[in-house]
Amino acid sequence: MFENVTVAPPDPIFNIFSSYLKDESATKVNVGIGAYRTDEGKPWVLPVVRKVENMIVNSPDLDHEYLPLDGLKSFTDASAKLILGTNSPVILEKRYCAVQSISGTGAVRLGADFLKRFHDKTVYLPNPTWANHQSIFEDAGFTEILEYPYYNPKTKGLDINNLCDNLKAMKENSIVLFHACAHNPTGVDPKEEEWTQIAKIMKEKKLFPFFDCAYQGFASGSLDKDAWSVRHFVEQGFELLVAQSYSKNFGLYSERCGCLTVACQTPAKAEAVRTQLCKINRTVISTPPAFGARIVSKVLNDPELYKEWVSSLKEMAGRIKLMRRMLFDELINLGTPGNWNHIIDQIGMFTYTGLTKEQCLLIRDKFHVYMTESGRVSMAGLNTKNVKYFANSIDQVVR
C-alpha cells in the first residue's frame, strides 16, 4: 500500500525551529519563525486576549455546539469591517460575504479552492513570496502558477517598474496575489502612490486581485494604514478576495483563527459566493473552530476592549521598530561593510537582510543564529539582550 511513499522534504521554517530547540548554546538566537516575542524573548498573550478568554471560559452560557458552516457571524461581520472599513461602500451596500477559515493559511486555501472552481485562470505570485503560497495553489489544482517581479536585490526595495511592466503583459482575468501589508519575506511594501499605479494597470488589464493580509495593524501599528491597499482597490470598483489572519495581530497562532472576505458587485452575488464557500468548508473542515473566533469577536465588537487591543498592537509594532533601529545602529557602530538602510526602511515582522545562503549557514554554525537561508530575519526574535550579539554575528559573517 505505501510502497511508493517517500519521505517528504522538511518544511524550511519549521525545520529551522526544531534545530533551534535542539541547540544547547546559551547564546542561541531564533530569528527564523514569524512569531512575536517580548523583550524577554517570551511568547505574549495579549492582556485583552487573556481577559476575554477568562470571560468566555467562565460564562455560564458556554457550550461546544457546532458553529454554522461559515463560522461565527459576529466574528466574520466584524472581520469584513476591519479590513474593508466600517464605511466601505461594499459594507454599506451589503455586497460582501465573509467566511471563517482555519487561520490565514486556511483563508488563502479556501480562496484558492473557490477560484479553482469558478475562475480557473493563471495565478501570479510575487517573487519572492511566503513559501506556502506556491504549495497552496498547487494543492488547490492550479496548473499555471507564475511569478511577477517584486523585490529588487540591488536597491533592497520594490521593483516597481518591472512589476508594472509585467502586469501590463499578463493575460486578462489572471489572478494576482498581493500581500496587503508587511510583505513576507521582504518587509517591502508598495507606497500608496505605487498601489495606485498598480490598481490602475490591474483595472485596464482586467486582472483579479487576491490579497493576503496576515499582518493588519502589526505592520505600522495602524489598522487603517495597513488596510489601505485593499480599501483602495475596493474604491476603484474591484471585486476581490482578501484572506485575513489573527495569528499575529491577536497572537492567536495556535487557535487557527481567520476569515476570507469577498467583495462582490451585488448582494445577490455575495450570497451565491458565500454558499459556495460554505460548500467547500463543509467537505474540508465541516465547521470552523470557535474559541479564537469568540475571542476576536468580543474584542472587535466592544469599543473598550478594542481600545485595549489597539494599544497592544501599537506596543508590538513599536517594539519591532525599536529592534530595527537598534540593529541598524549596532551595525553602523561596528562599521559593518555594506549599506544597512533597508533594516529601518522595511516594515513589519521581517527584514530581508541580503545575507547569502552561505552566510546564513555560517551564522547558524558559528553563532547559533537561526534564520531562513533566504536571509530573512524575524525581527520579533531580537530583543535588547541579544541584538548586540546578533549584530556582531552579522558583522563577522559579512567581513
| Identity of the amino acid at 310 | V
* Dihedral sign for Cα atoms in the order 144, 130, 274, 195: negative
Q: Can residue 100 be called a binding residue for ligand PMP (CB under 6 A)?
A: no
* Dihedral sign for Cα atoms in the order 303, 245, 12, 378: negative
Our CB check for ligand PMP shows the closer of 223 and 270 to be 223
Among 32, 71, 104, 190, binds ligand PMP (CB under 6 A): 104
Our CB check for ligand PMP shows the closer of 32 and 104 to be 104
Binding pattern for the stretch 297-326 against ligand PMP, x by CB under 6 A and - elsewhere: ------------------------------
Query: Contacts with ligand PMP in 175-204 (CB under 6 A)?
Result: 179, 184
Our CB check for ligand PMP shows the closer of 379 and 391 to be 379
Q: Compute the distance between CA of residue 249 and CA of residue 320 in angstroms, rounded to an integer.
A: 13
Our CB check for ligand PMP shows the closer of 103 and 374 to be 103
Q: Which residues contact 227 (CB under 8 A, 6 or more apart)?
A: 82, 83, 84, 85, 180, 181, 213, 216
Segment interacting with ligand PMP (CB under 6 A) among 47-55, 98-106, 200-208, 324-332:
98-106
Q: Which of 309, 284, 282 is nearest to 295 (CA)?
A: 309
Q: Which residues contact 373 (CB under 8 A, 6 or more apart)?
A: 12, 357, 360, 361
Segment interacting with ligand PMP (CB under 6 A) among 58-66, 69-77, 103-111, 325-333:
103-111
Q: Can residue 258 be called a binding residue for ligand PMP (CB under 6 A)?
A: yes
Among 130, 151, 211, 233, binds ligand PMP (CB under 6 A): 130
Our CB check for ligand PMP shows the closer of 378 and 393 to be 378
The distance of closest approach from Cβ of residue 12 to ligand PMP in the complex, given in angstroms and rounded to an integer, is 12
Other beta carbons less than 10 A from residue 303's beta carbon: 7
**Cβ atoms of residues 185 and 128 within 8 Å:** yes
Kindly list the catalytic residues.
130, 212, 248
Q: CA-CA distances (angstroms) from residue 392 to 291, 327, 332, 373?
A: 43, 10, 11, 19
Segment interacting with ligand PMP (CB under 6 A) among 79-87, 102-110, 275-283, 322-330:
102-110
Instruction: List, in sequence order, every beta strand (DSSP E) within 214-361.
Output: 240-245, 257-263, 350-352
- Total residues contacting ligand PMP by CB under 6 A comes to 13
**Cβ atoms of residues 198 and 167 within 8 Å:** yes
Query: Contacts with ligand PMP in 210-239 (CB under 6 A)?
Result: 212, 214
Q: Compute the distance between CA of residue 226 and CA of residue 220 in angstroms, rounded to an integer.
A: 7
Q: Can residue 34 be called a binding residue for ligand PMP (CB under 6 A)?
A: yes
Our CB check for ligand PMP shows the closer of 34 and 85 to be 34
Q: Which residues bind ligand PMP (CB under 6 A)?
A: 34, 103-105, 130, 179, 184, 212, 214, 245, 247, 253, 258
